[in-house]
Amino acid sequence: MSVFDDPGLFGRLWADTYDGPGNPDPAPAVDFLAPLAEGGPVLELAVGTGRVALPLAARGLTVEGVEASPEMVAHLRAKPGGADLPVTIGDMADVPVAGPYRLVFLVFNTLFNLVSEERQAACFRNVARVLAPGGAFVIETFVPDPADFDRDEQVQVREVTEDSATIRVHRYDRAAQTFVRQTVTFDASGVHLKPFAMRYAWPEQVDELAERAGLRLTERYADWDRSPYDADSRSHISVYRRR
């Protein structure tokens, strides 16, 4: 199945290393989200290994998750509190739960893992369906920088040791606002491939998806510490509320 068609592929390939060194500290996100929950209940889309959901639940909130990858959920279940957190296996664009929720959130650029505008729009529509009146939908994504894809193809050296070499190759489709990334490792046992794809969007395009779903932008920041968002910001934390 194509990387563009399989929502669980990322989890199958990356679950074992997803909580490895170099990942973002979830604490600032938890501090930001907890007051917006207004007591809950809360839904995390693409809950993954529970890096944000479990600390939120530890604060006494009722938290649920949606995740396409059973492999990711297995890692969540192995963590303290993970066995008690309800998770629905499914595509986050479908939001396959009933609600209503005071807070729904989608962090770590994961909105862009939905690799078409149609699936991103479906996610917003379905979030609006399960939000309580006045409830908040929070997303975190990077702000695309054209300098990052000024060529259609890019090659990066990721790691070289005496026993292996890892390169990362990107191919961009600027008209479709998509890219395919392949992480290739060569070692004594052979060649190992980890494909990945995204459909990126600028903040104003994300706002349009929200508007079409009946959600309005109420807050935007450059980071979880609520730094002001401006033209130089490389990421945005956006809060949308149901009308």
Instruction: List, in sequence order, every residue forming a beta bridge with 44; answer none if it has no partner.
Output: 65, 105
What number of CA atoms fall less than 13 Å from residue 131's CA on the CB side? Answer: 29
Of 63, 66, 55, nearest in space to 30 by CA: 55
| Mean of all residue pLDDT scores within the chain | 90
Reply yes or no on whether the pLDDT at 28 is more than 60. yes
**pLDDT (0 to 100) of residue 1:** 46
235: which strand partners?
Answer: 142
Task: Write the pLDDT tens digit of every residue in 168-187.
Answer: 888 888 889 998 888 899 99
Q: Do you find a cis peptide bond into 100, omega within 30 degrees of 0?
A: yes
Torsion sign, CA atoms 197, 230, 43, 14: positive
Report d(CA 61, CA 221) in Å as an integer.
24
Please give the model's pTM, rounded to 2 decimal places: 0.89
